[in-house]
Amino acid sequence: MRSHLLEGIVRHRRARPFTYAFEHKVFYFALDLGELDAVARLRLVSRNGRNFFTFRDDDHFDPPSTDLNASVAAHLRSAGLEPEGWHITLITNLRVVGYAFNPASFYLCRDRSGTLQVVVVEVHNTHGERHQYTLRPDHEGEHFVASMDKAFYVSPFIAAAGRYAVSVRDEASRLRITINEQEDGTLLLHTSLDLARHRLTDRAAARMLVRYPMGPHRTIGMIHWHALQLWRRGLRIYRHRAAAR
């Protein structure tokens, strides 16, 4: 299968008004959307069912998808693209014993030649909302680089206005994704994923389940833990209704 696992480090570093940084070990599923049913034949993985790991189509897109491969293709066509023959890989966390939270999932959209043409970043916030940013490269180069204006409320400690710069280094053995968030033209938040590729097998899935038990539950817990630390240091809070746009 083209589908595989990714394991590595996520890093966050806030630059203003004070420095606050952390890093955590993480793993992701990298799912070829044409192989979802084949992936679900693994012992520990199901599609729209119950298992230790569960992929659910309706965990993505808004309104919730019933067939994610078709939903992404329709989304790309609505953006003026023709994805016939493309391979689309979703970088995401699956549900673990029924629960999932994905701060961001990434759809890497490669054309027939294997060139990364589009990256769709699907952002989720803790209010149960979702938003897709559809990125095309700003210029031709060795790596995918794109930028977009912020259009979705994520953190109570960051204003609605801002701009993201996204870099994707899609290599044979590793995947590196960097997102820099700017406010008033200066860096506010640096986020990066540095992930090594592993084959997706029953044994590998079991190993990840042991290494990262209750992974999504830990993710939401750490989000609130770091939010508490920022609040204790006196950061301004931007309310959800006021900041969303």
**pLDDT given for residue 141 in this prediction:** 78
pLDDT tier at 241 (50, 70, 90 boundaries)?
low
pLDDT tier at 110 (50, 70, 90 boundaries)?
very high
**pLDDT given for residue 174 in this prediction:** 97
pLDDT tier at 243 (50, 70, 90 boundaries)?
very low
How far, in Å, are 46, 110, 183, 190 from residue 24 at the CA level? 27, 29, 25, 14
Contact between 87 and 2 under an 8 Å Cβ cutoff? The reply is yes
Query: What is the Cα–Cα distance from 24 to 33, expressed in whole angstroms?
Result: 27
Share above pLDDT 70 across residues of the chain, in percent, rounded to a whole number: 98
- With left for phi above 0 and alpha for psi between -120 and 50, is residue 2 left, alpha or beta? alpha
First to last CA, the chain: 40
**pLDDT given for residue 244 in this prediction:** 44
pLDDT tens across 128-183, in order? 999 999 999 998 878 999 999 999 999 999 988 899 999 999 999 999 999 999 99
Query: What is the Cα–Cα distance from 200 to 37, expressed in whole angstroms?
Result: 14
Query: pLDDT averaged over the chain?
Result: 94
pLDDT tens across 8-48, in order? 999 999 999 999 999 999 999 999 999 999 999 999 999 99
DSSP letters, 92-126, are EPPEETTB---SEEEEEEE-TT--EEEEEEEEE-T
